Structure 1
Amino acid sequence: MSRFLLLFSQIILIFSTITSSEKTEPTCQDIDAYNVCYYKGVLVEVTQRRFEDRLDLSDLDLLAIRKDAFKNVTATHLYLNQNNRISVLKRKSFRGLPKLERLHLDDNVVPLSEHLFAELGHLESLSLVFNRINSIPRDSFAGLSSLIWLYLGHNDIPAIEAESFSNLNPGLLYLWLNNNKIARVAPGSFAGLTELNRLHLDHNQLEGLASGAFRGLNKLEDLYLNNNRITSVSEALLRDLVGLKRLYLQQNEISTLEPGTFQGLSQLEQLRLDGNKLSRVAVGTFTGLFKLEDLNLSDNHIHTIDNGAFADVVKLRILYFSGNNITEIDKKITGLPSEVIVV
């Protein structure tokens, strides 16, 4: 009997050892210049064997990144964007990447949180496209003091709050928020991004924008508001955009434009209003657009053009006007420059 008990205990011990080993020992493999260890979807440790500026951790079916998983890795580009499902990240998950410049986290399930990327002071480009993100907590991007490109398109973000981009690098140049569910932009949301050059808010659910939504964006050159549900725009909304060169408002629900709406946009070169519900072009609609070269009013319901309606657009080169209820425009009466091409 005692022999049986001893044998049984040994079997249990061996089984326990095997089970324990299976639970704790990660899988390690060499990927280019790196040794990568992971266990049950958790990235455990990454060490560098020789210099290589690109680290591609795609196709590992990762679910999480452990704190301090990277051991002084000098890569400048990190790819985690294919065939992973990362949903667990902590503030220190990216510590140990002192030279990282580009981080690709597309097609994961990354939830944003305060100071999540704070260890990445040299990061210039961060891509979080297709991550089902549904909120931007305060200070999510704090510490990214070198960031220039931020991609947040194709998520589920419902609104941009006043603190959404708090402590983000004021030198950010390009921001993508397209293809979300944004229905509201709080006044001053972008006020800290004083160097922003391009802002994508297209393909969202905006019906209107409050005055002050674009406060501080006096260096913005490209603003994409197309493919929303916007019913009107005002001079008060646009007055801060003194450096704007291209304004995309096509495919919205705009039915009227008040005289002077664009009067603060003295640098504007291109204006797209096609695919709206405009019925009339009134005198003063384009007041202040001294540099406008390209104007698209096609596919509206325009049946009336006031005399002199285009008198202010002295540099206009091309007017897109097909798909309206007027078949021919008298350039002299409407004030269009004689050299303008009407398409």
Structure 2
Amino acid sequence: MNAPAYEALPARVVFGAGSVARLAEETDHAGLRRVLVLCTPTQRGLAGHATAILGERAVGVFEQARMHVPLATISDALVVAAELGADGCVAAGGGSTIGLAKALSLRAGLPYVALPTTYAGSEMTPIWGLTEDFRKLTGRDRSVLPRAVVYDPELTATVPAATAVTSGLNAIAHAVEALYAPDSSPPIAAMAERGIRDLVEALPVLGTGTPDAATRATALQGAWLCGTCLGATTMGLHHKVCHVLGGLLDLPHAETHAAMLPHVAAFNLPAAPDAAAAVRRALNAPDAAAALSKLVTESGAPSSLAELGVRRSQLRAVAEETLITPYANPRPINRQDLLHLLEKAWSGTPA
């Protein structure tokens, strides 16, 4: 008998336009008194805005967050946090910044409040990742969940269209994989389907570069739901391949998810009919994988690994690394299958 179990993760979420004004209140609620604000170099303006709201609670800014969370970046941030006597952080930005906050929480027990500006939803997951020696290591630990997430659609108004679109496709990948995860459940299926639908509605408008406030709110809601799904289920082939591509080849995270999404879906969904039906409903399309291919292409996101700079000669190394420690998957995959899948993703052949 299949009896799925659903375990809700602790989450405090503040959602709505202007909610960034509650940032100081949320750090107080989390018991944080000396906060280090984290960001990437391009998000220095947002970090300054957060610092102004935090007032004397902010002890400094670390603006060197990097994609895939290199171990050296974690070490540098820990030194700064220690020097400033920080007792927690605010992660102001997208997945790179939130990934760094998770690493500091895991390594040094520094709690954080997340202030997301993209649509990937990683702030809702207990999944951490870091890169060392060209290998991306991942794990799952509740200690890396934020004390609070502040979703303010106003903060996403200036996000470049390409970033908005690829981060939204990244979130959709979370939900698609959650639908066929071995520990999926009715609540997860419901959230995944709604999250995909929200993002599919928002993506065409996000891609114009001038999305209205309602669309940005819909996209953030979709990111929240899709991230929650990933946080409550086991990752599969899609995430494993993307982690290998990111760690081994230093590919951009969200763009890699976008390029891989239709191809892994085409491989896995025939073995997961309930998941396939949910994706078809969310996309309002008769063929889930084909509709995902069309969504990626029409959104202007990278539709092939070749576009991201991957050389065909590198695919074999990616396959070998993926198969060393495979993730759970609804359909078994061998070396030949994986190479064929990667070839299709490399060339951008429609799924």
**Shared fold per TM-score greater than 0.5:** no
More strand by share: 1
Structure 1-normalised TM-score?
A: 0.28
Larger radius of gyration: 1
* TM score, norm. by length of structure 2: 0.27
Structure of higher RCO (CA pairs closer than 8 Å, 6+ residues apart): 2
